[in-house]
A and B are shown apart, each in its own frame.
Chain A
């Protein structure tokens, strides 16, 4: 009898709803006051009980307001989404309380007690993060050891790239073609010339000085540019009817896919010079770039192969029956369709490539993560690892999240078209 009376039902909503709401509100008030005002209003209870008190009270409250088909829109929504069973109610409370508890120290560290002004470690007096570190080193983190007066060259190379890409999006298709050809075949040389200098009155800047976030972008851009065509060729090679080409492609792809990038980088940095004639020297950055390109090309090849395999056989047969040769068939019929099928996969590979670039620091190239490693070991700035890596993580997260969002949107857009 008592149990049936305790079961929250719609006809007793006037009793249960206010009672439950009070319990829930009290639970949240307790946690909030405890966290933000440092006041424990349940301090009179034993310590463990006091600690779990809001959880208990909130749990009872959520039980009391779990009224099915109450007719109140908000309550029904709440019950359905976070309060559908005892277990769910418990987990919801736990998550909410953890978020409330975590937000205060997190905000304190990130913003409220952090130091933004100043120019040395001594200016960081608060308990929070020392963002002065990032501010002072910002230039280095972005450009590496690139000379300060020459940094406009890095900026202009990237601005030129963005302007070109932006314009290419909006111009009519007829001119677009030329823009793309310019971007793919001429711009890279202009960019390299601008960055390295040595002629046209520009001071020569050796690649060892390149670094920071700009190096991440440079490596990503070049690797993306080159790994794509190589990947397509490898994929075609793997599906070729000619056994020698097929087996060489398979061997090449599986070799790169089977080893970690770090060993490939070591190979490029340490082992590869042994294979060159005595006295010849290829810049380390270029060696590493080639290594990353080949490594990612193997992954790209597998993605493209997926697209090639997904195409129905009829497409090949139709193209052949029109009298097309191998290359015409692939370029005009097969690849456009196959590549469109695997755009999400391609985007994922490119995302992986961007995430792989920080690894180059193992062979002594200093992009963002490497520069932070350098900055935090500076005697004047010891103990700044947390700030540095949180900053780098944030930067990479923004880049990668934007890329993955873009690829997801692309996926959705393309799937509705079909």
Chain B
């Protein structure tokens, strides 16, 4: 009895020692770094703090979604960078998903040429470092575009030039009403689908949900145009001569080449990984599943929609979300080609001006970290929801 107790205590102590040592080591490293940092900052006459965020930034940002110039604060500059990061990530995710699904499905094609083309697409773009692809698009491919006066003309509506891609500007009147009507449409579609599901499960009635949803989504925003005074017109880009040899486009929206290069490279690179996920997902659904579905009389579309896709998506979605996260993190490579994302605006320009390395790098890292962690929390929740519930 006594021996056993001793043994247990012994084990507890044995467990405690390495833990205590690790914690102690970690704390002393942190303490050591903190003291050094304090001394170093004292020597340079700066003190730790985030007060600089409200100081005037006094630098300009080439591309921003919200109003910004030198008179705004560093905090606002951070926000501009963050929004630019989000913008390029969303564009990248959108394009990468479309391209990735197409390539992934093409790799499964029974057409030898299509399958091979898709395979080589994946092999080529996956095995070249992303930064080189960004450089290629930005420094080589987009620099080969014509100057504004010889722009590549898309039906006089949009123009592709070396200075960027000019597209028409949307001029809204009562844009908020339009947004509300869209929101209302989505909510009604949601309730319609819930109602249809209930009808199907309780009464066995099948409503034409898809057609109805589409109708609602088109009709309600359309009504807002007709009845509620929403209107939309376009400002087309126009060529304007600045000086004898210098031209530019005005009135439209200019998409800067940095954004194009970054979005292209990010989506083409990430699409290869998404394609592999899609392929693995579709191949992961057993042949028996399709045969069983066919034998109970489902047609080809129904098999795809009701049997293959739900199972394939369960395999596809987790690694694909991971790729979305990677794409968002990779968008920080923007700093290499001067697209004003969070890293460039904040961790480079603002850092250079203020010299507050610790605060700025920590804020940048924490932002990415919180983004990653929130997505992984969402993923864990989603995985639990989607996991096969075994009885």
Contact = CB atoms under 8 A, between A and B. Distances in A.
Contact of B132 (A91, A260, A262, A358): A358
A392 B333 CA distance: 17
A9 to B, nearest CB: 22
B45 interface: no
Nearest to A377: B139
Given A254-B373, A259-B365, A274-B40, A362 B33 contact: no
Given A95-B114, A270-B357, A404-B127, A262 B19 contact: no
A26 interface: no
B64 interface: no
A414 interface: no
Interface stretch (B105-113, B218-226, B278-286): B105-113
A33 interface: no
Contacts of A390: 136, 140
B136 A393 contact: yes
A81 interface: yes
A223 interface: no
Interface stretch (A42-50, A238-246, A306-314): A238-246
Contacts of A80: 110
Interface in B117-133: 117, 123-124, 126-133
B131 A274 contact: no
A361 B336 contact: yes
Interface in A3-55: none
A412 B219 CA distance: 55
Interface stretch (A186-194, A315-323, A328-336, A395-403): A395-403
A263 B132 contact: no
B13 interface: no
Contacts of B110: 80-81, 84, 88
Nearest to B41: A274
Interface in B317-354: 329-330, 332-333, 335-336, 343, 347-348, 351
A134 B269 CA distance: 26
A76 interface: no
A369 B39 contact: no
B39 A95 contact: no
Contacts of A259: 329, 365, 368-369, 372
Contacts of A101: none
Given A275-B37, A369-B135, A262 B333 contact: yes
A355 B129 contact: yes
A82 B111 contact: yes
B26 A248 contact: yes
Interface in A359-418: 359, 361-362, 369, 372-373, 376, 385-386, 389-390, 392-393, 396-397, 400-401, 404
A267 interface: yes
B143 A396 contact: no
Interface residues of A, number: 54
A263 B110 CA distance: 44
Given A257-B372, A262-B333, A369-B131, A274 B37 contact: yes
A263 B366 CA distance: 10
A400 B114 contact: no
A276 B117 contact: no
Interface in A246-281: 248, 254-255, 257-260, 262-263, 266-267, 270-271, 274-278
A214 interface: no
B129 A271 contact: no
Interface in A321-360: 355-359
A309 to B, nearest CB: 15
Contact of B140 (A91, A92, A258, A385): A385
A95 B117 CA distance: 8
A136 interface: no
A244 B127 contact: no
B132 A369 contact: yes
A263 B114 contact: no
A96 interface: yes
Contacts of B61: none
A263 B372 contact: no
B36 A393 contact: no
Contacts of A389: 132, 135-136, 139-140
A96 B23 CA distance: 64
Contacts of B19: 242-245
Contact of B111 (A81, A266, A274): A81
B361 interface: yes
Interface in B31-53: 33, 36-37, 39-41, 43
A270 B132 contact: no
A258 B333 contact: no
Given A95-B114, A401-B123, A278 B368 contact: no
B368 A95 contact: no
Interface in B133-181: 133, 135-136, 139-141, 143-144
Given A257-B372, A274-B357, A393 B128 contact: yes
Contacts of B329: 259-260
What 3 A-B pairs are tightest by C-beta distance, nearest first? A258-B372, A244-B19, A400-B127
Interface of A: 80-82, 84, 88, 91-92, 95-96, 241-245, 248, 254-255, 257-260, 262-263, 266-267, 270-271, 274-278, 355-359, 361-362, 369, 372-373, 376, 385-386, 389-390, 392-393, 396-397, 400-401, 404
Given A248-B23, A277-B39, A389-B132, 17 more contacts: A88-B110, A95-B114, A244-B19, A244-B22, A245-B19, A254-B369, A255-B369, A260-B333, A262-B335, A266-B347, A266-B348, A357-B129, A361-B131, A362-B335, A369-B132, A386-B141, A400-B128
21 contacts: A82-B112, A82-B113, A92-B114, A243-B19, A244-B23, A258-B368, A260-B329, A274-B37, A355-B128, A361-B131, A369-B132, A372-B135, A373-B135, A385-B143, A389-B132, A389-B135, A393-B132, A393-B133, A393-B136, A400-B129, A401-B127
